[in-house]
Amino acid sequence: MTPLLEVADLEAGYGPVQVLRGMSFTVDAGETVVILGANGAGKTTTIRAVSGMIDTKGSVVVDGKSVGGRRPEDIVRLGVAHVPQGRGTFVDLTVEENLRLGAFTRKDDDVAADMDHWYEVFPRLHERRDQVAGGMSGGEQQMLAIARAAMSRPRLLLLDEPSLGLAPIVTQELFRRLQTLNQEQGTALLVVEQNANLALSIAERGYVLEAGLIVAQGTAAELQADESVRQAYLGI
């Protein structure tokens, strides 16, 4: 089976600074994959490279189609949604407008039904649907960001440090929702995280990124058992 996302020899950086130095990884359809790494390892750059936000060298293939050189607004049409770090909500638009924008590329008639679905999953969003997103707490905005990304009915959801700045209990709730999204809708998840414990708990496989290179990979259980991963990322 060809993977849904196949990244090979990816190089990327900002100006003269090279961040990714030839990394390779795959995500299968319906799979949850986590990329662990310290600050500055290149986690955000990886996600931004896949969704077309930065120039890259190497190959990024989604569902058999090369996305190298395509623009973000075209890549989302291939079924890739991106929840950026810091959530990227439209803070001065209402919750409902944020969700409608999530479905911007869709032409089908089920948008309203999907919106109702996400209001059921996240009742807080329903309560606040006519308020501007910027007035909500960080956790609520992160839920909105995920619901908005899911509104495009992606086959692959990219999540950039979803736990950043959230209280532990909120983070746990969020990861449970992500797991449900993965299981019920079959959406593949690629999560980059510093919170390795929680991320590995919902992932099937994982990679460890250090200074722009993949230095370890394996099933979630293997990584949780690996002594060096435990020391570096799990704090045990």
Partner 1 sequence: MELFFNQVINGIQQGAIYAALALALVLIFRSNSLLNFAQGEMAMFSTFIAWILADNGFPVVFAILAAMAVSVVGGAIIERTLIRPVGSDNVLAIVIVTIGIFIATNALAGWIYGTDGRVFPRIFANESLVTFGDVTVTQETTGIIAILLVVVGLLYLLFQHTKVGLAMRAVSSNAESAQLVGIRVGRILMLGWGLAAALGALAGSLAAPQLNLSLNLMQGLLIYAFAAATLGGFDSPLGAVVGGLIVGVTQTLAGQYIDFFDGFELGSAFLLILVVLLVRPQGLFGRAVVTRV
Binding site for partner 1 (CB under 8 A): 51, 53, 71-73, 76-77, 81-82, 84, 88-93, 97, 100-102, 104-105, 148, 152
Answer for the pair 8, 20: CB distance below 8 angstroms, yes or no. Answer: no
CA–CA gap between residue 110 and residue 116 (Å, rounded): 10
State the burial class of residue 234 (Cβ atoms within 10 Å of its Cβ: 0-12, 13-18, 19+). middle
For 22, list phi and psi in degrees, rounded to 5: 90, 55
Q: Nearest distance from residue 149's CB to partner 1, in Å?
A: 8
- Nearest residue (CB) to partner 1, 46 versus 89: 89
Pairing of strands 205-210, 213-219: antiparallel
Q: Nearest distance from residue 150's CB to partner 1, in Å?
A: 12
- Nearest residue (CB) to partner 1, 37 versus 84: 84
CA–CA gap between residue 21 and residue 58 (Å, rounded): 10
Answer for the pair 149, 82: CB distance below 8 angstroms, yes or no. Answer: yes
- Nearest residue (CB) to partner 1, 111 versus 216: 111
Pairing of strands 32-37, 188-193: parallel
- Nearest residue (CB) to partner 1, 141 versus 195: 141
Q: Nearest distance from residue 74's CB to partner 1, in Å?
A: 8
Q: Nearest distance from residue 89's CB to partner 1, in Å?
A: 7
What kind and span of H or E run contains 199?
Answer: helix 196-202
- Nearest residue (CB) to partner 1, 53 versus 216: 53
Contacts of 115 (CB under 8 A, 6+ apart): 96, 99, 100, 103, 151
Q: Nearest distance from residue 128's CB to partner 1, in Å?
A: 17
CA–CA gap between residue 28 and residue 75 (Å, rounded): 17
Q: Nearest distance from residue 17's CB to partner 1, in Å?
A: 17
- Nearest residue (CB) to partner 1, 152 versus 195: 152
Best CA proximity match to 196, nearest among 38, 84, 19, 49 = 38
- Nearest residue (CB) to partner 1, 145 versus 181: 145
